[in-house]
Amino acid sequence: MHVHILGICGTFMGGVAQIAKQMGFEVSGCDANVYPPMSDQLVAAGIDLIEGYEPKQISEAIDIYVIGNAISRGNRLLEAILNRGLAYSSGPQWLSENILQGKHVLAVAGTHGKTTTTSMLTWILQYAGLNPGYLIGGVPQNFGVSARLTDSKYFVIEADEYDTAFFDKRSKFVHYRPRTAILNNLEYDHADIFPNVAAIQRQFHHLVRTIPSEGKVIYNHESQTLKEVLQMGVWTPCESFGLGNGSDWQIVDREGCRVVCGGKEQGLLEMAMSGTHNRLNALAAIAAAANVGIPVEKSLEALKKFDGVKRRMELKGEVRGIKVIDDFAHHPTAIQETIKAVKIAYPHSRILAVLEPRSNTMKLGSMKQLLAGSLETAEKVFCYQGPSVAWDVTEALAPISSKTKVFKSIDSLVLACAQEAAPEDVILVMSNGGFGGIHQKLLDALER
């Protein structure tokens, strides 16, 4: 079978491409911009890449076109596929029908922490010898690639609530039919497709409806919105995790960070990643691993050797004692928690927060009223207002104006930040995009 993927350089679609190649299919694909790091992974896998969406890509040799959710009506190649009546599918549907059937799927859903938690869970299963297949919306440092297929019956997947394709507006995760599901948290996000948090809760309940009665739902006890989802109906045994005494799985800060289950201490959680949110991510992964028979002791041992995920508090370089750290944070809650985690990791450092409001939700201004509060614990804030951000960032950050500068030029921001930085400072760059290569620009400016 020859599979041609539209939007192949997206993290999810690139993962689908790599798995299809490992299945033995012939795989090719196209994107508006064929760019690394995904393009490097695809080329290394022997996948043909085409830049642009010209209809001349259509070939009788192609059996099915797999359409990414970034592809909209009006796209020239998509219109040609529709007009000629050619076979097409979405990425999640194709994955479900060709890869996930017959697997024990472990899915990780939530507004925050999906990539990190999925990576932790995959590594625990690998460390325990289960050799899982996986598809993750990032690159786990322990593996080096974002997706792989194995002969294991276990498959771990990052379960995104974003819509599936131009013709299927359900969330991607309804296609995965997991047996073990982590519901990590639930907040309002994706303002471009969801009118309110209730609409997202409805999609999460659609996911809950697909989980078998012999499966397991592992949910965040701290999240009222998730509890409301489960109150809509659940047909699967549930276990909760959290910081409070009401949780089945708990983190207790007594003589170190200890894991407690069923009222009994299971062991000490030790890992390189800091922050309360990462402790909860780890706790969810431990609970899910226990559901497939992995002892807590083995999971704790694995997490000691977990190397993290690219673009999640990733150190990009250090110049004159000034560290530049990259993080994917783009939602106010994630921004706030990431700054807290960096402060724990570097307690004697000033945090210079560098932010690009780039997600669709941020560009629409849906979260602007929360932005200042999310940044208030940073010592200095440098914010880039790109051309797609129509609202007034300076006005939104007025409550912290004394320590904030807003720029419409990345180069100007880099210069100002480099001039401000002093030895032992941490420059924390937060964006869900490439941010114009700002990390290297900052390192170069610091060298100068």
The answer to whether residue 300 scores a pLDDT higher than 90 is: yes
Phi-psi region of 290 (alpha: psi -120 to 50; beta: other; left: phi over 0): alpha
Q: Give the pLDDT confidence of 90-145 residue by residue, as tens digits.
A: 999 999 999 999 999 999 999 988 999 999 999 999 999 999 999 998 888 899 88
Q: Give the pLDDT confidence of 347-364 residue by residue, as tens digits.
A: 999 999 999 988 777 777
In a domain, 209, yes or no: yes
Residue 142 and residue 82 share a domain: no
Interatomic CA distance for residues 240 and 248, integer angstroms? 5
Query: What is the Cα gyration radius of the chain?
Result: 22
Q: Which of 63, 91, 119 is the last residue of a domain?
A: 91
Residue 112 and residue 79 share a domain: no
- The more confident residue out of 145 and 83 is 83
Q: Are 218 and 181 in contact (CB under 8 A)?
A: yes
* Domain harbouring 388, CATH code: 3.90.190.20
Q: What pLDDT was estimated at residue 437? A: 87
Residue 49 and residue 12 share a domain: yes
Pairing status of strand 404-407 against strand 380-384: parallel
Q: What does the mean pLDDT of the chain come to?
A: 92
The answer to whether residue 66 scores a pLDDT higher than 70 is: yes
Residue 332 and residue 282 share a domain: no
Q: Are 277 and 342 in contact (CB under 8 A)?
A: no
Q: What pLDDT was estimated at residue 308? A: 79
The pLDDT > 90 percentage for the chain reads: 74
The answer to whether residue 221 scores a pLDDT higher than 70 is: yes
* Domain harbouring 32, CATH code: 3.40.50.720
Using pLDDT thresholds of 50, 70 and 90, give the confidence band for residue 330: confident
Using pLDDT thresholds of 50, 70 and 90, give the confidence band for residue 230: very high
C-alpha angle with apex 276: 205 to 161, nearest 5 degrees? 25
Cβ neighbours, 10 Å, residue 448? 7
Residue 130 and residue 85 share a domain: no
Q: What pLDDT was estimated at residue 282? A: 96
Residue 113 and residue 261 share a domain: yes
**Cβ-Cβ contacts under 8 Å for 98 (sequence gap 6 or more):** 20, 23
**Cβ-Cβ contacts under 8 Å for 345 (sequence gap 6 or more):** 274, 313
Residue 393 and residue 259 share a domain: no
Q: Which of 91, 120, 144 is the last residue of a domain?
A: 91
In a domain, 188, yes or no: yes
Q: Which of 91, 117, 146 is the last residue of a domain?
A: 91
Confidence (pTM): 0.85
Residue 45 and residue 133 share a domain: no
In a domain, 155, yes or no: yes
Q: Which domain holds residue 54?
A: 2-91
Interatomic CA distance for residues 182 and 118, integer angstroms? 9
Residue 367 and residue 337 share a domain: yes
Q: What pLDDT was estimated at residue 285? A: 98
In a domain, 16, yes or no: yes
* Domain harbouring 108, CATH code: 3.40.1190.10
Q: What pLDDT was estimated at residue 255? A: 64
Using pLDDT thresholds of 50, 70 and 90, give the confidence band for residue 225: very high
Q: Is 361 exposed, middle or buried (0-12, 13-18, 19+ CB in 10 A)?
A: buried
Residue 43 and residue 6 share a domain: yes
The answer to whether residue 50 scores a pLDDT higher than 90 is: yes
Q: What pLDDT was estimated at residue 143? A: 92
In a domain, 419, yes or no: yes
Residue 422 and residue 325 share a domain: yes
- The domain tally of the chain equals 3
Q: Give the pLDDT confidence of 403-435 residue by residue, as tens digits.
A: 999 999 999 999 999 999 999 999 999 998 778
Residue 345 and residue 296 share a domain: no
Range in 95-109, 162-176, 181-195 the model is least confident about: 181-195
Interatomic CA distance for residues 137 and 91, integer angstroms? 14
In a domain, 32, yes or no: yes
Q: Give the pLDDT confidence of 31-43 residue by residue, as tens digits.
A: 997 766 778 889 8
In a domain, 97, yes or no: no
Q: What pLDDT was estimated at residue 312? A: 77
Element containing residue 207 per DSSP (H, E): helix 197-210
Residue 431 C-beta-side C-alpha neighbours within 13 Å: 20
In a domain, 96, yes or no: no
